[in-house]
């Protein structure tokens, strides 16, 4: 849930446009006018267009550094996004080097691309990729003009793969998602954006805005469900263990009623009686904790595939578990100890 995605989904929403296909010149002019008009709306910080969004749909093309030999068995695929100028900022992504795509990067100009860090490491290891020529993106050569920070494009659990961002002014997209970053709540922003889109294209479909965060949530929902399920079972186990400890100690105290009465009649204080019972409780808990921790270490590797960002024998996790169970044992033993310390010695001595 806390993985750095490489983009910032908060305050960002997307809506599908009807300008994904068609003659390039008209499409680009439509993109530019849409972004200009939407960017002028109150509360809008940045606007961009892409035919794909990370953690949603994806596709791959080839990416290969020109002048280097093809290695047998090497994977040269890269995730590809056809984007407009402004998309990087609208998604809250980080341009690490070079420049962003511009409206002047038309079909008549030199073909250019942005790549991510993973693509730069794979194709130009130890080199500055800015200005390098890549092949596999389209029909001809393309020049790298910028490097973007890695983005988790298919899963938050897997490392980022090579990614390429190509200008919608030079390549044909398979669709169009308008991405809007705004300080306004979506319910306030959506009507004004939709009105603007309808003024430019009366045939704009009545599709709803979707928060980019919802795409992230959908990607992490299996893990979240599993975590909630495990937490529920863990809580039930903790409650059962607490009730078990309390029951055993309560029964033990009841069996020692006369002994406690004699001790208090002979001068034992309430604090000493409480300490005696709590000490016995913690001793029993420590024995159980030792057995449980040993068993956990032995079977920990069996759950390694279910863990993310945590080792099966993570010392902080085991220490936290030990402190939690000792605390529970203390609290479960405290109530019987407190009750025992309030026993009237004369009543205790008369009990069978």
**For residues 28-53, average pLDDT:** 92
* Distance, CA of 143 to CA of 132 (rounded, Å): 6
Number of structural domains, the chain?
Answer: 2
Whether the predicted pLDDT of 79 surpasses 80: yes
Q: Which of 58-67, 83-92, 169-178, 336-345 has the lowest mean pLDDT?
A: 336-345
Whole-number average pLDDT of the chain: 85
Q: Are residues 44 and 186 in the same domain?
A: yes
**pLDDT band at residue 36 using 50, 70 and 90 as cut-offs:** very high
Q: Is 346 exposed, middle or buried (0-12, 13-18, 19+ CB in 10 A)?
A: exposed
**pLDDT band at residue 26 using 50, 70 and 90 as cut-offs:** confident
Q: Are residues 275 and 342 in the same domain?
A: yes
| Structure confidence at residue 351 (pLDDT) | 59
Q: Are residues 28 and 145 in the same domain?
A: yes
Q: Are residues 198 and 230 in the same domain?
A: no
Residue whose entry in the numeric block shows the structure tokens 């080792």: 311
State both tokens at 217: 């949530």
Q: Is 152 exposed, middle or buried (0-12, 13-18, 19+ CB in 10 A)?
A: buried
Pick the last residue of a domain from 176, 208, 240: 208
Whether the predicted pLDDT of 130 surpasses 70: yes
Provide CB contacts within 8 A for 207, sequence distance 6+.
Answer: 15, 16
**For residues 247-257, average pLDDT:** 76
| Structure confidence at residue 308 (pLDDT) | 74
Tell me if 157 is assigned to some domain.
Answer: yes
| Structure confidence at residue 348 (pLDDT) | 63
Q: Are residues 248 and 101 in the same domain?
A: no
pLDDT tens, position by position, 80-94: 999 999 999 999 999
Q: Are residues 90 and 234 in the same domain?
A: no
Provide CB contacts within 8 A for 307, sequence distance 6+.
Answer: none
Q: Are residues 283 and 156 in the same domain?
A: no
Residue 337: which domain range?
Answer: 220-350
E runs forming strands in 19-159: 44-50, 60-62, 64-65, 77-83, 95-98, 112-116, 133-135, 142-148
Tell me if 90 is assigned to some domain.
Answer: yes
Tell me if 76 is assigned to some domain.
Answer: yes
Higher pLDDT, 304 or 110: 110
Q: Which residue pairs, CB below 8 angstroms and at least 24 apart, start in 213-218?
A: 213/9, 213/10, 213/12, 215/9, 215/53, 215/54, 215/55, 215/56, 216/5, 216/9, 216/55, 216/156, 218/55
Whether the predicted pLDDT of 202 surpasses 60: yes
* Distance, CA of 252 to CA of 242 (rounded, Å): 15
Pick the last residue of a domain from 185, 208, 231: 208
Tell me if 2 is assigned to some domain.
Answer: no
Tell me if 23 is assigned to some domain.
Answer: yes
Whether the predicted pLDDT of 75 surpasses 60: yes
Whether the predicted pLDDT of 23 surpasses 80: no
Q: Are residues 52 and 99 in the same domain?
A: yes
| Structure confidence at residue 251 (pLDDT) | 80
State both tokens at 171: 């390549």
Instruction: Report the candidate in 333, 352, 348 with the shortest Cα–Cα distance to residue 259.
Output: 348
Q: Are residues 203 and 225 in the same domain?
A: no
**For residues 257-269, average pLDDT:** 76
Task: Indicate the DSSP class of residue 71.
Answer: P
| Structure confidence at residue 137 (pLDDT) | 83
Q: Are residues 41 and 145 in the same domain?
A: yes
Whether the predicted pLDDT of 198 surpasses 80: yes
| Structure confidence at residue 86 (pLDDT) | 94
Residue whose entry in the numeric block shows the structure tokens 């100009």: 109
Tell me if 5 is assigned to some domain.
Answer: no
* Distance, CA of 242 to CA of 68 (rounded, Å): 65
pLDDT tens, position by position, 309-329: 778 888 888 898 888 888 888
C-alpha triplet 41, 42, 44: angle, nearest 5°: 75
pTM of the model: 0.74
State both tokens at 255: 């069996």
| Structure confidence at residue 129 (pLDDT) | 94
CA 68 to chain centre: 37
Q: Are residues 135 and 226 in the same domain?
A: no
Instruction: Report the candidate in 338, 342, 328, 235 with the shortest Cα–Cα distance to residue 282.
Output: 328
State both tokens at 119: 């693509």
C-alpha triplet 184, 190, 195: angle, nearest 5°: 125
pLDDT tens, position by position, 283-309: 888 898 899 889 988 888 888 777 777
| Structure confidence at residue 19 (pLDDT) | 61
| Structure confidence at residue 7 (pLDDT) | 92
Tell me if 269 is assigned to some domain.
Answer: yes
pLDDT tens, position by position, 112-126: 999 999 999 999 999
Pick the last residue of a domain from 187, 208, 229: 208
* Distance, CA of 191 to CA of 177 (rounded, Å): 17
pLDDT tens, position by position, 2-21: 788 889 999 999 998 876 55
Q: Are residues 204 and 224 in the same domain?
A: no
Tell me if 1 is assigned to some domain.
Answer: no
pLDDT tens, position by position, 209-237: 889 999 898 888 888 898 899 899 989 98
């Amino acid at each position: 849930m806390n993985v750095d995605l490489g983009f910032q989904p908060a305050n960002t929403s997307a809506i599908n446009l009807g300008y994904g296909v068609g003659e390039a010149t008209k499409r680009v002019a439509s993109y530019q006018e849409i972004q200009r008009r939407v960017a002028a709306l109150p509360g809008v910080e940045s606007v961009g267009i892409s035919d794909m969004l990370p953690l949603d749909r994806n596709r791959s093309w080839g990416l290969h550094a020109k002048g280097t030999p093809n290695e047998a068995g090497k994977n040269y695929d890269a995730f590809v996004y056809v984007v407009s100028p402004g998309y990087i900022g609208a998604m809250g992504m980080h341009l690490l080097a070079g420049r962003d795509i511009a409206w002047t990067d038309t079909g008549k100009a030199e073909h250019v691309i942005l790549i991510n860090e993973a693509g730069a490491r794979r194709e130009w290891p130890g080199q500055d990729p800015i200005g390098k020529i890549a092949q596999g993106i389209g029909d001809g050569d393309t020049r790298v003009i910028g490097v973007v920070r890695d983005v988790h494009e298919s899963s938050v659990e897997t490392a980022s793969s090579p990614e390429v961002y190509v200008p919608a002014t030079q390549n044909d997209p398979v669709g169009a998602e308008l991405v809007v970053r705004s300080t306004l709540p979506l319910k306030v922003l959506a009507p004004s954006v939709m009105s603007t889109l309808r003024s430019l294209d009366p045939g704009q479909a009545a599709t709803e805005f979707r928060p980019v965060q919802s795409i992230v949530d959908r990607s992490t929902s299996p893990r979240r469900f599993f975590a909630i399920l495990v937490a529920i079972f863990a809580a039930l186990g903790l409650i059962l263990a607490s009730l078990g400890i309390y029951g055993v100690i309560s029964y033990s105290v009841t069996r020692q009623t006369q002994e406690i009465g004699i001790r208090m009649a002979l001068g034992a204080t309430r604090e000493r009686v409480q300490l005696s019972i709590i000490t016995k409780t913690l001793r029993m808990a420590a024995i159980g904790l030792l057995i449980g921790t040993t068993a956990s270490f032995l079977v920990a590797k069996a759950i390694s595939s279910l863990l993310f960002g945590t080792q099966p024998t993570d010392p902080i996790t085991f220490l936290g578990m030990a402190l939690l169970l000792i605390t529970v044992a203390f609290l479960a033993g405290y109530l019987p100890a407190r009750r025992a310390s309030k026993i009237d010695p004369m009543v205790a001595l008369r009990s069978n």
